[in-house]
Structure 1
């Protein structure tokens, strides 16, 4: 299928051929008939893409600070590599989609095949959208009109926050697409509406609709004009839908408002606010968030958990429906806003001049025979016949892009497939690394007889299910940590693993030259190891904290350091005790200390903290054994104390990823022992479960008593790749 994307690296807007998404649980698969170009939002993205690096940096000063912090902790070259990889990631354009349902996922009962729907899907021939971001279109609303649903809800949410009443005077600053719809909805609400814009054509259209138009380009003083229109009282509310860098717009809004007036920001403007202007009138100011309640809430959007209507009357989905009802009843006229209808293949007529466009709304028109193809050939001439060590990658997220693929390229790995949920990131990476096939159906990799192994880098809750399917298909498996999220998942993997293929978990630290050197120096003698991880804070609503999805940061990330200490000690964990910060720590934490007892008498301490400074190094490992001490500082420097013939090792940042993948590729091509013994992988995984159990019970936990609450082992096609 075809999809519009924006390159931040080259600045080009591209109609890309990508594999069609697959329907997933709680989602709706839609064949697009129309999509609306949001000229304001998409113009910003296109212009940002065309900007040079200095201009990009000036537009995002917060990102510049993050880059500088990363340089301090990880070094210049790794940081630059990460920045350029990030810029190379294509961005899907569009969020105003209309089409017909061609499939519904498990748990979706509101829609059926053939329904006409509006959604926030991108500019693509086929889209897959969660059910709470989809609304049914009334029979008397055309596809062209329905394309305004999502962008209309942005204006509607601004109105809801303003809370206008019958007869009030509301100013709308910026009469672009959102502003014009906002003004017309306010009229329908019984308000007196004043619209401000610099475009004479938009002012003329607004006046035809009954809006009082003010054009500063014609010499009008906007503040004085509003005061004149309100007999000196000022506007009851101001809704700003403009996009501009100047602070003058917020100042004007304050000066034209009445005492205790309301100002709502829907657009993007400068926000250096004058305290005096707001103080003297006791003005209220609020920023509107997109389509309404539910936006950016994963529970609502991705998992379909609705907010109870008696308590949250207007969610984003219910705002979609309200816009469609307003169009259906003809209280909202959007057809008059359409400036042009353009076939998708001629998209450059819109995007080629988007920076100079004077149009209000551009509609992209789609052919209705788009192929539902889940795999596309990116490098058609590639042959894998007779080759050993052919791989398929499942997951195209940051780890795959920033770490794994660069390492695999240097290891000269034979990669036939890459699978991603939407197809865009997978296809972009396939082009960059000359991977033959991009797919949204990861099971095609498992069915392919030429493919010897799979690499799984998806969300943690899908790991166990995918590992089981890959083992059943007779494939070698590399899976990013963790292997499983609970004992039931782990037991199923133990039962399925017969040793005929290899199973490797991405415990890369043991392959770092610094760890290898320390291991060589200390051998397998009993030792004390302290590993400190300055992990950094992750917002509490991010999926890694969800025990059913990410497993929490101890199971999901601290397992790295359990494996590291296991490798250094040459022994296995027998008991675990974990303590967490706080008077009554929860059953999950990212600020805790883990004590490990080993079979050979060694002890380990893992300090996993998220409340440290980003300016401080991320990882530090200390090893104490036989009057000798080795200290690894962030895998860049190792210092030895008491070792004959060794005092220091310095490298660029090297956490062992490259060596790990080189060894993996070589072992599959040439044969050999597993990179990590299977019993060590199982022991490490159980030790991470024991840490959580210890936290829950406030006691030491022996590994033979570990039980972690189970969740079903599932690997839905779309969910698996997010």
Structure 2
């Protein structure tokens, strides 16, 4: 299928050929008939993409500070690699999609195949959308009209926040697409509506709809006009739908308001607010978030958990339905807003010169003729009679920033890369010369030439996909963690014992050059050692999926397992007991800031401090090892200080062991050597991470069987 994307690195807008997305649980798969181009929002994205590196930095000063902090701790090259990796990730354009349901995911009861629906899907021939972001189109509403659903909901949410009453005077600043829809909805609400814009064509349309529309370029003073119009009272409320970096708009809006007036920002403007403008009149100001309650809430959007209507009357989905109902009843007429209708293949007529476009609403029309495909061939590579042929499931940030660059350095043979949406895997396949991109990972498991599968998905998918890979008779490398529960781990152990394949987990730290040097200095005489390992892991907001125990497993199981494995590597022994304590009055609810104490079978002790409340300017990782009146101190995988050892001091660029790990893994797969990490150590580390959580809950030491 074809999809429009924005390349943030070179600024090109591209019509990309990608696999059709795979239907997910709680989602509906939609074949697109029309999409609406939101010129305001999409123009900003396109112009950002076309900006040079310095211009991009100026637009995001907060990101610049993050980059500078990372340079201090990780060095220049790793930081620049991370920055350019972000810029290399494609940005799908569009969020106003209408089409026909062609497949239903598990748990979806309110839709059926054949339903006509509106959603926030991208400009793509097929989109896979969560059910709470999809609404049925009434029979008397055309696809072209329904394409305004999401745009209309953005304006409607701004109105709901303003809470206008019948007879109030409301000013709409900016009569673009959202502004015109907002103004018409306000009229339907019984308000007196004034609109300001500098485009005569938009002024004309607004007047035809009954809006008092003014072009300030003709010499009208906006503040004085509102004052005269309201007999000196001022406007009851202002909705700003304009896009302009100037601070003048917010100042003018405050001066147009009556005492205790309200201002709601829907657009994007300069926000250097003058206290005096707001103070004397006690004006309230609020920013509207997209198209309603539920936006960016993982529980609502991705998991499909609706808010009870008695507590949240208007969610984003119910706003969608309200807009469609208004179009159906004729209280919202969007047809006059359509400026042009363009076939998808001629998309550059819209995107070629958006900066100078006078269009209000551009409709993209879809006429898919080829049957949908779940994979796309990128190159004609041959893998006949080769070993170590790789298929990668998952194309997220870690895959693009770390796995693929290292595999390319090694010269690995990669036949497949999979992503559920098909877009990111296609972009990566082209960048790294991978033979095929697919949205159906099962194609990898069925392929006879692939003998090594990488699993780099969200944590809750690791164990099920590892099991599927083992049953397919293929070796597997899975990013940590291996599993989230003991039952998952038991199932993997049982299947592993029935197969002649290997399991590797992404415990890359033990492969780092400095870790290898430390191990060599310590020797292999099994003498007990003391280890203090500190991870200045950094804060992650509570709503990020890593914290969800069912999806991410939390940061101890999901991330600190790295350091349990590293301590095991240095100790040369397995963990036999573990105790964990965490910060706060209810520590079991906060595993972000925890200390883990490990007892090893050979008498070694280790303390892992996993903290999320430290400064980003400080080193992210530090390891101290004490043995036989000697000490090793490793700082952030860049420096090693050795006390009591000869020739132990080292310094180099940051290297966390990924290259060595993958190099050894592929050689092992080709030559049939022993696993790069003994499976019993992988199992022990995984059990130890589970035991740490049990210890915290029960406030006691936990013995590992």
- Scaled to the shorter chain, the TM-score interval is over 0.9
Kindly tell me: are residues 362 and 460 of structure 1, through their superposed partners in 2, closer, same or farther at Cα, counting changes over 3 Å? Answer: same
Residue aligning to 2:481: 482
Residues 617-656 of structure 1: CA deviation (Å, up to 9, x unaligned): 000000000000000000000000001x224111100000
Per the TM alignment, residue 220 of structure 1 is displaced from its structure 2 partner at its CA by 1.2
Q: Secondary structure at the match of 1:319?
A: helix
Residue aligning to 1:566: 568
Residue aligning to 1:698: 699
Moved over 3 A (4+): none
Residues 661-687 of structure 1: CA deviation (Å, up to 9, x unaligned): 111111111221100000000000000
Residue aligning to 1:708: none
Residues 438-476 of structure 1: CA deviation (Å, up to 9, x unaligned): 000000000000101100000000000000000000111
Q: For 1:232-631, what aligned pairs fall within 5 Å after superposition?
A: 232-379=232-379, 381-498=380-497, 500-523=500-523, 524-631=526-633
2:92, 2:123 within 8 Å by CA — same for their partners in 1? Answer: yes
Q: Secondary structure at the match of 1:206?
A: helix
Q: For 1:644-663, what aligned pairs fall within 5 Å after superposition?
A: 645-663=646-664
Mapped partners of 1:7, 1:365: distance in 2: 22
2:459, 2:553 within 8 Å by CA — same for their partners in 1? Answer: yes
Mapped partners of 2:363, 2:357: distance in 1: 14
1:588, 1:692 within 8 Å by CA — same for their partners in 2? Answer: no
Mapped partners of 1:472, 1:158: distance in 2: 53
Residue aligning to 2:160: 160
1:166, 1:190 within 8 Å by CA — same for their partners in 2? Answer: yes
1:671 aligns with 2:672: yes
Count of matched residue pairs: 702
Per the TM alignment, residue 371 of structure 1 is displaced from its structure 2 partner at its CA by 2.4
Residues 282-332 of structure 1: CA deviation (Å, up to 9, x unaligned): 000000000100000000000000000010000000000000000000000
Mapped partners of 1:221, 1:58: distance in 2: 33
Per the TM alignment, residue 204 of structure 1 is displaced from its structure 2 partner at its CA by 1.1
Mapped partners of 2:381, 2:368: distance in 1: 32
Mapped partners of 1:501, 1:218: distance in 2: 77
Q: Secondary structure at the match of 2:454?
A: strand
TM-score, L = length of structure 2: 0.99
Q: Secondary structure at the match of 2:118?
A: strand
Mapped partners of 1:258, 1:215: distance in 2: 22
Q: Secondary structure at the match of 1:294?
A: coil
Mapped partners of 2:95, 2:343: distance in 1: 17
Residues 509-534 of structure 1: CA deviation (Å, up to 9, x unaligned): 00001110110011232100010000
1:265, 1:288 within 8 Å by CA — same for their partners in 2? Answer: yes
Q: For 1:64-143, what aligned pairs fall within 5 Å after superposition?
A: 64-143=64-143
2:374, 2:440 within 8 Å by CA — same for their partners in 1? Answer: yes
2:347, 2:364 within 8 Å by CA — same for their partners in 1? Answer: yes
Q: CA RMSD in A?
A: 0.7
Per the TM alignment, residue 584 of structure 1 is displaced from its structure 2 partner at its CA by 2.3
Per the TM alignment, residue 383 of structure 1 is displaced from its structure 2 partner at its CA by 1.1
Per the TM alignment, residue 586 of structure 1 is displaced from its structure 2 partner at its CA by 2.3
Q: For 1:159-178, what aligned pairs fall within 5 Å after superposition?
A: 159-178=159-178
1:512, 1:657 within 8 Å by CA — same for their partners in 2? Answer: yes
2:505, 2:682 within 8 Å by CA — same for their partners in 1? Answer: yes
1:125, 1:370 within 8 Å by CA — same for their partners in 2? Answer: no
Per the TM alignment, residue 382 of structure 1 is displaced from its structure 2 partner at its CA by 1.1
Residues 115-146 of structure 1: CA deviation (Å, up to 9, x unaligned): 00000000000000000000000000000000
Q: Secondary structure at the match of 1:281?
A: coil
Q: For 1:211-226, what aligned pairs fall within 5 Å after superposition?
A: 211-226=211-226
2:375, 2:436 within 8 Å by CA — same for their partners in 1? Answer: yes
Mapped partners of 1:369, 1:693: distance in 2: 56
Mapped partners of 1:519, 1:268: distance in 2: 55
1:72, 1:615 within 8 Å by CA — same for their partners in 2? Answer: yes
1:214, 1:225 within 8 Å by CA — same for their partners in 2? Answer: no
Residue range with higher mean Cα deviation, 216-225 or 540-549: 216-225
Mapped partners of 1:702, 1:427: distance in 2: 46
Q: Secondary structure at the match of 1:631?
A: strand
Per the TM alignment, residue 587 of structure 1 is displaced from its structure 2 partner at its CA by 4.6
2:148, 2:334 within 8 Å by CA — same for their partners in 1? Answer: yes
2:521, 2:648 within 8 Å by CA — same for their partners in 1? Answer: no
Mapped partners of 2:608, 2:629: distance in 1: 21
Mapped partners of 1:157, 1:478: distance in 2: 46
2:583, 2:590 within 8 Å by CA — same for their partners in 1? Answer: no
Residues 583-624 of structure 1: CA deviation (Å, up to 9, x unaligned): 221255110000000000000100000000000000000000
Q: Secondary structure at the match of 2:587?
A: coil
Mapped partners of 2:586, 2:304: distance in 1: 32
1:294, 1:300 within 8 Å by CA — same for their partners in 2? Answer: yes
2:582, 2:593 within 8 Å by CA — same for their partners in 1? Answer: yes
Residues 390-412 of structure 1: CA deviation (Å, up to 9, x unaligned): 00000000110000000000111
Unaligned runs of 5+ in 2: none
Residue range with higher mean Cα deviation, 585-594 or 612-621: 585-594
Mapped partners of 1:283, 1:395: distance in 2: 49
Mapped partners of 2:667, 2:55: distance in 1: 44
Residue aligning to 2:42: 42
Residues 360-391 of structure 1: CA deviation (Å, up to 9, x unaligned): 00000000445221100011x21111111100
Mapped partners of 2:417, 2:181: distance in 1: 42
Residues 21-62 of structure 1: CA deviation (Å, up to 9, x unaligned): 011110000000000000000000000000000110111111
Residue range with higher mean Cα deviation, 211-220 or 164-173: 211-220
Q: Secondary structure at the match of 2:269?
A: coil
Unaligned runs of 5+ in 1: 705-722
Per the TM alignment, residue 213 of structure 1 is displaced from its structure 2 partner at its CA by 0.9
Q: Secondary structure at the match of 2:588?
A: coil
Residue aligning to 1:720: none
Mapped partners of 2:397, 2:102: distance in 1: 31
Per the TM alignment, residue 17 of structure 1 is displaced from its structure 2 partner at its CA by 0.1
1:565, 1:604 within 8 Å by CA — same for their partners in 2? Answer: yes
Mapped partners of 2:191, 2:20: distance in 1: 45
Q: For 1:143-222, what aligned pairs fall within 5 Å after superposition?
A: 143-222=143-222
1:118, 1:147 within 8 Å by CA — same for their partners in 2? Answer: yes
Residue aligning to 1:707: none
Q: Secondary structure at the match of 2:280?
A: helix
Residue range with higher mean Cα deviation, 40-49 or 226-235: 226-235
Mapped partners of 1:335, 1:517: distance in 2: 70
TM-score, L = length of structure 1: 0.97
1:456, 1:478 within 8 Å by CA — same for their partners in 2? Answer: yes
1:587, 1:692 within 8 Å by CA — same for their partners in 2? Answer: no
